[in-house]
Structure 1
Amino acid sequence: MYKLRAAIIKDLRVLLRDKIGLAFMFLMPVVLVIVVTNIQSSTFQLLNKNKLTVLLLNRDTGRLSQEFLQTLDKTGLFRIKQLPGKTTDGQLREGLHQKDALLAITIPASFTGDVLYKAQSTAGKAMKSFGLEGDSARHIAGNLPLDVYYQPSLPESYHLSVQGAVRSAVQIVESKETLRQLYLAINDKPLPAKMEDELLQNQTQIRERAVAGGQDVKTPDATQHNVPAWTIFAMFFVIISLAGSIIREKRSGSFVRLKTLPTSYALALFARQLTYLAVTVLQALVVFAIGIWLFPVIGLPGLQVPHDVVGFFVVTLIIGWAAVSYAVCAGVFFNTEEQANSFGAISIVILAAIGGLMVPSFAMPSSFSVALNLSPLHWCLEAYNILFLENGKLPDAVNYLIPLLIMIVVMQAAAFAGLKRKNLI
């Protein structure tokens, strides 16, 4: 026990001298998690709390174009910036070019007439089908021409949402006018406003619930997604410091000197793994603490602590041990720090990219499914997601912890075999 304690103290002193390694392990994840979560949180809120500014050019003077504007405003998606009716299409495009807004909508001068004509045609056809007198000779107009301009920088998902909102607003205006014309044809008097509201505003309520494990859970936000992901990313970056220290000892002859002492390098390597395992756990605690306490202060959603706290610590220990094993294996087989650092940084970025840390797994093409399931960082992320997003318990994450444990055994065995082959132990 004394030898183990002495080795751990020695490794701590070496680690504290590695300022660059400490910056990679602690400063980098803090900056990443704050910046990325802030950006994604703003993106998630763009269509929820924030509104898209829309330049609107209304060339129609009828009442139905005003109804369309009111309906569009009620969607809650847009901040409408109305332009003078004499504005040209060129001036409208210039407004988008100057980034006054991301979108622009043009209502043609014939909008009210076209909607009215279409409503009367539909009502007449309906009357005829009921066996009543009605004008069915009119041809029902097709889709009404509305021009929507948008900046190419607007993401396609927002573009589709905007398109759906505009279509819905037009359909509501058309439906209202068709109902008015049908009521007028049957009763020879206008549709009462109260009845119109009862017929059109009494919509079926839609309740949205996030469900996991058969239970309702809180809807995930950017914090719940990003804090665990970038914590894993940081934990695996111990390869920069740990692999480098192993290589420096190999090159300095420390292995040879250890053979002359009443100890073994296996004990020293075990002590180093314990030291860096403690570092990875500390990394996780620091980043999660920032998510819990700092994020609400700077206006970001706070991290929700999982119900299974013991399971959280067990998962964190296994992930940390997997990261340490990966770093030890790299340190044993590479001969220079440059090789280990380059391989470590590139491989972790690639594993993070294909593992769903940088791009959500559901957004990846199906051809990446095999690579996704083979990434150790994906196993780590899924284990955390079960605890943080699904309010699961440790047994629920076993399917992802078993591959991590197998990886640990394989990496440790490979490192031991490499040391034996090089006659270092």
Structure 2
Amino acid sequence: MHKLLASTYKEFLLLTRDLGGLAILFLMPILLVITITIIQDGTFKTLNETKIPVLWVDNDRGETAENIYQNLAKVNTLELIQKTSENEAKELVFKGDYQLAIVIPENLSRDLDRKVDENVRGMLAKFGLNEDSISLAKTSNSQKEVRLYFDPATQYTFKSSIKNGIDKMIAKVETQRIYKAFQEQVTDDPNEVIFDTEPFVTFKEIGPDNNEKAVLPNSTQHNIPAWTLFAIFFIILPLSINMVQEKNQGTFVRLRTNPISYATVLGGKTLVYLCVSMLQFGLMLVLGVYLFPNIGLPKLDVSGKIPLLFIVAFFAGLAAIGLGLLLGTIAKSQEQSAPFGATFVVILAALGGVWVPVFAMPVFMQTLSKLSPMNWGLEAFYDVFLRNVGLGDLLPEISLLFLFFVATAFIAIVYNERKNAV
């Protein structure tokens, strides 16, 4: 025990004397989290609050176009701007001034009514309810196109959502017109309601706590766990660099002459850097709770979650330290450890879903992401922050993080023993 404490004290002195390493461990994560959160908060507000201007060209000027317009006007994220010229709207969109222009074709309402009336009369005639309509010749109505002009830089998801939304609106208008045509044919009383056109199936979103109102995720809930995890794994840089320096300066040679095992040396490093990771995480929580609301960012809600959050951070810190110990043991120079460590952390972050959500990745990359310890840690943080789970539900992720630490530390010890035995 005394040897472990002595090794821990040595690591503490090395770390506190390395001001550059301390800056990487604490200042870099703070600046990173604040910067990324401010940038992404604008994106979240764009999706949830800011209205997207959309050009509207109505060549129909009928009831159908008016119904589509009213339905689009109810969408909170769209702001309709009326234009009279299709060419003008097209040029404004293709220049990037607007993301979308919607052009309603001429005679849409007239031709839709004509088509619906003919279909309804034909159907009633089949049942002998409207004999006069049997002799009516059907007019030839060509299909109508609602033209959508998108900015070439517009994302595919936005295009798909707009297309699906307009398609549903037009289908609703057609359905209501069919019901209306049937009612006009079977009754002479315009005030009599035969068909109920209100939707029978509705949707209701229920949160993890059965809340009546769904809670929308914000930029803080994503960036605090994601970039804190990224900062924790950046521990491998100063940790591996210090280990390489000790080897190059002969410190490891002197340690080998003392009755102390390599596992004890690694144990001292683990304790010091585990405390650092806990301080990093605590600092990030303080930023989210106290600083973010004062700079216009959403406040981080940690009520009743702090113990579970620190448990996840503890095991995430162990996984990062284990990787740093392995890298520091294998690397022979700082030129090997620093670039590889930084690049490898970025790769783990990309695979783990820190930058791009895992569900948005190709199937092969989704499978590969399951191998990233950052993915395990991030999912555990999301479980606590967003899914309100208990400790038992966190066991799979924290078990994987702990096993990763054990495996990397074991490989580092075995590699060192075999190298020194040669």
Residue 254 (structure 1) aligns with: 251
Q: In 2 relative to 1, CA 5–165 (structure 1 residues): closer, same or farther, beyond 3 Å?
A: same
Residue 180 (structure 1) aligns with: 180
Scaled by the length of structure 2, the TM-score of the pair is 0.87
**1:216-240 CA deviation, whole Å, 9 max, x = no partner?**
9955444333321221111111111
Residue 79 of structure 1: SS of its match in structure 2? Answer: strand
Match of 2:289 among 292, 317, 340: 292
Percent of pairs identical after alignment?
Answer: 34
Mapping for residues 137-216 of structure 1, pairs under 5 Å: 137-138=137-138, 141=141, 143-188=143-188, 191-192=190-191, 199-201=196-198, 204-211=201-208
**1:306-358 CA deviation, whole Å, 9 max, x = no partner?**
64543332222111111111101111110111210111111111122222222
Residue 57 of structure 1: SS of its match in structure 2? Answer: strand
Q: In 2 relative to 1, CA 140–362 (structure 1 residues): closer, same or farther, beyond 3 Å?
A: farther
Cα distance in structure 1, aligned partners of 2:278 and 2:322? 14
Mapping for residues 17-416 of structure 1, pairs under 5 Å: 17-83=17-83, 85=84, 87-89=85-87, 91-133=88-130, 135=133, 137-138=137-138, 141=141, 143-188=143-188, 191-192=190-191, 199-201=196-198, 204-211=201-208, 218=215, 220-259=217-256, 267-305=264-302, 307-416=304-413
CA contact (8 A) 1:104 1:149 kept: yes
Residue 418 of structure 1: SS of its match in structure 2? Answer: helix
Residue 420 of structure 2: SS of its match in structure 1? Answer: coil
CA contact (8 A) 2:349 2:355 kept: yes
CA contact (8 A) 2:273 2:321 kept: yes
Q: Which runs of 5+ in 2 are unaligned?
A: none
CA contact (8 A) 1:246 1:332 kept: yes
Shift of 1:99: 2.7
CA contact (8 A) 2:8 2:267 kept: no
Corresponding letter in the other structure for 1:373:
K
CA contact (8 A) 1:306 1:391 kept: no
CA contact (8 A) 1:37 1:226 kept: yes
Shift of 1:417: 2.3
CA contact (8 A) 1:306 1:387 kept: no
Scaled by the length of structure 1, the TM-score of the pair is 0.86
CA contact (8 A) 1:210 1:219 kept: no
Cα distance in structure 2, aligned partners of 1:361 and 1:340? 28
CA contact (8 A) 1:255 1:265 kept: no
Deviates more, 1:398-407 or 1:239-248: 398-407
Shift of 1:375: 1.6
Q: In 2 relative to 1, CA 391–343 (structure 1 residues): closer, same or farther, beyond 3 Å?
A: same
CA contact (8 A) 1:4 1:268 kept: yes
CA contact (8 A) 1:211 1:217 kept: no
Q: Which runs of 5+ in 1 are unaligned?
A: none
Residue 305 of structure 1: SS of its match in structure 2? Answer: coil
**1:383-414 CA deviation, whole Å, 9 max, x = no partner?**
22222222112221112222222221222122
